[in-house]
């Protein structure tokens, strides 16, 4: 997730310089990067977001975007957002003052761009926590690009509290490409998956090079905001 404006606490998004309220495209010669609204989380007390007290007692909202990349060789969806209902494994969050809310239906957001889920060529993820997997099973016609270490960890027993394997079970019937490190998705250096373990064992970043806007690095939950990165803040829990 990434941090957005909230009533008592405001910081800038680090993931991409775009509004999450509507899909926004960064135009390039043949590429576009769209930011999609895939959910939000509201914290009554943002203390868990840093182990050194910066957000203690402050209300914080986090955005959970998905990113859609149009390349001359196909479409890539990066992350799949919150599910329509919070998994039972994460239901305890509400007792902790954390409210999860999905974004508008992802299929509907794609339809506004003239795209159906079956037309998305590739699906990949920053990591496999439930809040990045909620709509993954819409894309069984896509090729899933999965980090081998991340998948093994996500399906291990007992499951991590943020893991809900049924949300990404679609990979079992979809075409897959398993990777262990970096990957040049389209073979021309403009869209690269980069190995970035830390938040989870197989966390990844996505580097998109746009002719007009320059490079955009999508970091998933490696940082929650520009301030988290600048001050090197560490959440109290992954």
Tens digit of each residue's pLDDT (9 = 90 or more) over 170-218: 999 999 999 999 999 999 999 999 999 999 999 999 999 998 889 999 9
Give the whole-angstrom CA distance, residue 231 versus residue 191: 28
Give the whole-angstrom CA distance, residue 187 versus residue 176: 17
Per-position DSSP letters for 40-81, written without gaps between them: EEEES--GGG-TTSTTTT--EEEEEEEEEEEETTEEEEE---
Give the whole-angstrom CA distance, residue 59 versus residue 236: 16
CB contact at 8 A, 33 and 210: yes
- pTM of the predicted model, to two decimals? 0.87
Q: What angle do CA 231, 129, 66 make, to 5 degrees?
A: 75
How does the average pLDDT of the chain come out, rounded?
86
CB contact at 8 A, 26 and 214: no
Give the whole-angstrom CA distance, residue 134 versus residue 164: 9
> Per the structure block, which two tokens stand in for 94?
């509400």
Say what the pLDDT of residue 14 is: 33
Say what the pLDDT of residue 223 is: 84
For the cut 90, the answer to whether the pLDDT of residue 130 exceeds it is yes
Quickly state the pLDDT bin for 85 (edges 50, 70, 90): confident
For the cut 60, the answer to whether the pLDDT of residue 2 exceeds it is no
Give the whole-angstrom CA distance, residue 221 versus residue 229: 11
For the cut 50, the answer to whether the pLDDT of residue 235 exceeds it is yes
User: 38: which residues sit within 8 A by CB, 6+ positions away?
Assistant: 64, 65, 66, 79, 80, 81, 82, 102, 103, 106, 134, 135
For the cut 70, the answer to whether the pLDDT of residue 238 exceeds it is no
Q: Which helix (H) or strand (E) holds 229?
A: helix 226-231
**Whole-number Cα distances in Å, 53 to 9, 46, 58, 96, 236:** 14, 9, 10, 17, 10
**Strands 74-78, 60-71: pairing kind:** antiparallel
């Amino acid at each position: 997730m990434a941090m957005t404006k909230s009533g008592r606490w405001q910081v800038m998004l680090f993931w991409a310089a775009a509004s999450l309220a509507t899909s926004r495209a960064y135009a390039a010669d043949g590429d576009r990067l769209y930011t999609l609204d895939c959910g939000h989380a509201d914290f009554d007390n943002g203390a868990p977001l840093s182990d050194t007290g910066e957000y203690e007692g402050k209300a914080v909202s986090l955005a959970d975007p998905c990113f859609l990349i149009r390349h001359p060789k196909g479409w890539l969806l990066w992350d799949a957002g919150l599910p329509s209902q919070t998994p039972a494994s994460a239901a305890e969050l509400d007792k902790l003052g954390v409210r999860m809310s999905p974004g508008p239906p992802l299929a509907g957001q794609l339809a506004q761009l003239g795209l159906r889920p079956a037309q998305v060529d590739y699906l990949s993820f920053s990591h496999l926590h439930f809040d990045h997997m909620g709509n993954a099973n819409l894309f069984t016609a896509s090729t899933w690009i999965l980090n081998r270490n991340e998948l093994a960890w996500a399906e291990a027993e007992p499951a991590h509290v943020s893991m809900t394997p049924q949300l990404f079970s679609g990979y079992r019937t979809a075409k897959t490409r398993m990777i262990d490190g970096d990957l040049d998705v389209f073979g021309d250096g403009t869209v690269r998956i980069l190995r970035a373990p830390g938040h989870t064992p197989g966390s990844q970043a996505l580097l998109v090079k746009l002719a007009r806007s320059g490079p955009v690095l999508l970091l998933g939950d490696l940082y929650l905001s520009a301030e988290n990165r600048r001050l090197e803040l560490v959440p109290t829990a992954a």
